[in-house]
């Protein structure tokens, strides 16, 4: 299926057609027509499992320690209390739409009252819809396992601003810097994992990581038992420092 500049490939389990399978159609990104493709696209190779890539990218506390570029977050090292509502969504969950803090310079290009909603869904998609009074941007991140310890992470952006063309080289560079910061952490994490430390997930910062693992288990169980998928996520408020 081709939609919004992307080609989605259905992998049949037993020779069935996509219409006969129980998987939903690929997501339709908001605010952009079916024929409108992404304005920008990058890919980076992560030397880690798909689960470690997913857990790292969805960790809500990591920005203060990882994404410290001046153009992304002013006083990045200063921790602030955060609280957000979450609710179940198709094959995953969503961070309920909320207003973004004003310290991010890039968001000011979208106008006033900039808000965002972030969705995570199986098999490995993150969709962020940022909307202001003038423009909107949709970011799609996909994580694709290549092997047990190799993952490809792709980021694509759709933007309503018509003047982005001349700035694409700069924006693409900033995208690679941003994603590269996550990649560097994965490399450092891999060095630590060589000592086989005891790993644990804590409330509330790691709750989304727990949801990810629960969703994967439920998907595998529903497929094996030939029944409908039942989303294990329940709506709640999460709190953390970032």
| Structure confidence by residue, pLDDT tens digits, 127-147 | 999 999 999 999 999 999 999
pTM: 0.90
Strand partners, 136: 131
The whole-angstrom separation of Cα 27 and Cα 100 is: 24
Residue 89 has pLDDT above 80, yes or no: yes
Burial zone of 33 (CB within 10 Å; 0-12 exposed, 13-18 middle, 19+ buried): exposed
Which token pair is 69?
Answer: 């570029």
Burial string for 96-109 (b: 16+ CB within 10 Å, else e) reads eeeeeeeeeeebee
Query: Which of 199 and 222 is assigned the larger pLDDT?
Result: 222
pLDDT band at 103 (very low <50, low <70, confident <90, very high): low
Residue 62 has pLDDT above 80, yes or no: no
| Structure confidence by residue, pLDDT tens digits, 164-177 | 888 899 999 999 99
Mean pLDDT of 69-76: 64
Kindly list the structural domains of the chain, giving each domain's residue range(s) and its CATH number in brackets, ordered by start. 37-226 (3.90.380.10)
Answer yes or no: are the C-beta atoms of 143 and 151 closer than 8 Å.
yes
């Amino acid at each position: 299926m081709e939609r919004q500049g992307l080609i989605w490939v259905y992998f049949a389990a037993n020779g069935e057609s996509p219409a006969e399978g129980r998987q939903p159609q690929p997501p339709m990104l908001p605010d952009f027509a079916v024929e409108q493709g992404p304005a920008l696209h990058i890919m980076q190779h992560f030397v880690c499992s798909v689960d470690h890539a997913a857990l790292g990218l969805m960790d809500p506390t990591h920005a203060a320690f990882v994404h410290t570029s001046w153009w992304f977050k002013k006083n990045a090292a200063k921790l602030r209390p955060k609280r957000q509502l979450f609710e179940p969504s198709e094959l995953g969950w969503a961070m309920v739409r909320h207003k973004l803090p004003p310290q991010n310079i890039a968001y000011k290009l979208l106008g006033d009252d900039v808000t965002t909603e972030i969705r995570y869904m199986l098999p490995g998609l993150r969709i962020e819809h940022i909307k202001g009074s003038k423009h909107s941007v949709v970011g799609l991140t996909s994580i694709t396992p290549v092997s047990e310890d190799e993952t490809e992470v792709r980021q694509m952006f759709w933007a309503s601003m018509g003047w982005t063309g001349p700035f694409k080289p700069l924006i693409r560079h900033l995208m690679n810097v941003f994603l590269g910061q996550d990649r560097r952490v994965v490399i450092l994490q891999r060095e630590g994992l060589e000592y086989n430390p005891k790993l644990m997930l804590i409330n509330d910062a790691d709750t989304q990581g727990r949801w990810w693992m629960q969703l994967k288990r439920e998907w595998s169980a529903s497929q094996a038992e030939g029944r409908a998928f039942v989303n294990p996520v329940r709506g709640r408020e999460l709190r953390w420092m970032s």
